Amino acid sequence: MKDAALGRIRDNPFYVLGLRPSASRAEIEREGQKLLGMLELGLASAATYPTPVGPGARTADKVRQAMAALRDPERRLAHEVWARLDPRPPRDPRDDELDDELGELPPPEPPGEDPRAPWPEALAALGWRSR
């Protein structure tokens, strides 16, 4: 069930197209066509996209499906609910410290999860509970 929830977030049409839920229909069509062109040319910048649960692989078929899903008002509404999270991982405050104090290195990280990894609490923020 957890994998299905992660897949639902990762494959959200708004994340696939790199747009926020406030995007207009024209913006969706324009971005979809742009991404299809970039994928056709084999540009690496179009091959992946950020999500709150880690990067997703973008394909031309996924872009077409995303555009079709967002054309239907009922399906779009369901996807808007899931796309409220910022697709970028939370910003590490140490990045600001590094900008201010050039030359100083931050202390080493204790062993464990990388704090810059995809947002592991994304499901909990959406109200999902583990069994």
pLDDT tens-place string over residues 42-53: 999 999 999 888
pLDDT of residue 128: 73
pLDDT, tens digit (0-9, with 9 covering 90-100), for 24-65: 999 999 999 999 999 999 999 999 999 888 899 999 999 999
Q: The tokens 């239907």 sit on which residue?
A: 72
Q: Is the pTM of this model over 0.75?
A: no
Which pLDDT belongs to residue 113?
54
pLDDT tens for 68-124 read 999 999 999 888 887 877 776 666 666 555 455 445 555 555 555 555 556 667 777
Asked if 54 contacts 10 with a C-beta cutoff of 8 angstroms, the reply is yes
Q: Cα separation of 50 and 129, whole Å?
A: 23
The pLDDT value recorded for residue 72 is 92
Query: Distance between CA atoms of 21 and 23, rounded to whole angstroms?
Result: 5
What lies within 8 Å, CB to CB, of 100 at 6+ separation is: none
Q: Phi/psi of residue 56, each to 5°?
A: -115, 155
Q: What token pair was written down for 101?
A: 């104090």
Q: Exposure of 16 by Cβ count < 10 A (0-12 exposed, 13-18 middle, 19+ buried)?
A: buried
